[in-house]
Amino acid sequence: MSGNDTAGLPGEAFFTPGTSSFTEFLAAHRPGLLPTAPVLPAGVRTAPDRFPHGTTVLALTYRDGVLIAGDRRATMGNLIAQRDLEKVHPADDYTAVAFAGTVGLAVDMVRLYQVELTHFEKIEGTPMTLAGKATRLAAMIRQNLAQAMQGLAVVPLLAGYDPTAPDGGRGRIFGFDAAGGLYEKYDFYAEGSGSPYARGALKKLYRPGLTRREAVLAALQALYDAADDDSATGGPDLNRRIFPVVSVITEDGFERLPQEESEDLSREMIEQRTARPDGPHATP
């Protein structure tokens, strides 16, 4: 190989000192690869039915940690664009992120966020704190503000297990707005077009110290209520065997509920709705 032949070798950028942020590395050397790179000319706003949008996602704390869940529907205006969309993803071993908003940008942002956390841990030799993870995700959302103003907003929901938090508060939830505002939420929260109905359901179903099974059923009930009143939210599809994605994060790490468990609990919840179509009453 000649002295000028660098085929197959890392470029100079990989040997340039920088920060532990992979997003900042891309912004400096390959900005076109960022999901926040403009896809529309300045001043152009997209019609609401041009790109798939996903809703609804929610999270709630329970006895062993935190649960995060989402329905499976994506819509384009009044059309169903996808029935089995995955809206809940692990960010690392103890953190998960779910999203509402423009699907294409959201999926790319989640992937970049996963790399961001892995890159930080490899460079620094230690995982980022949960508060640091939330702040880093807020910065990524803020970079997408121009596209959000054009109708291409992405609004994630972050949940994680924080081993440094006091006993009883290790499951933590963070919400965001389209401008990158960061807000820690307590007990439960929901995002997306069906979120007002999901939060309303959780207000009557949530209580401290829920077991895992109780927390899953509460999440399924809340998503069912959202689907009952919001056409952009999909309920359990028994014929296609498409059920909400439910994941939990505990001291043992991230775990997505098996398809069989989600299906069994969804069917149990639907049977309960046969006797009480408007859902269970609040526990005294």
| pLDDT tens profile 116-158 | 999 888 888 889 999 999 999 999 999 888 888 888 889 999 9
Comparing 105 with 20, the larger pLDDT belongs to 105
Does residue 3 surpass a pLDDT of 50? no
First to last CA, the chain: 77
Share of the chain above pLDDT 70, in %: 81
The torsion region of residue 180 among left (phi > 0), alpha (psi -120 to 50) and beta comes to left
Q: What b/e string do you get for 183-213 counting C-beta neighbours within 10 Å, with b at 16 or more?
A: eebebbbbbbbbbebbbbbbebbbeeebebe
What CA–CA distance (Å, rounded) separates 247 from 257?
Answer: 6
The model's pTM is 0.84
If you average pLDDT over every residue of the chain, what do you get?
Answer: 87
What CA–CA distance (Å, rounded) separates 187 from 155?
Answer: 19
Select which of 23, 36, 55, 75 is catalytic.
55
Mean predicted confidence (pLDDT) in 64-81:
95
**55 among known catalytic residues:** yes
Let me know the angle formed at the C-alpha of 42 by 40 and 46, rounded to the nearest 5 degrees: 45
| pLDDT tens profile 266-276 | 999 999 998 88
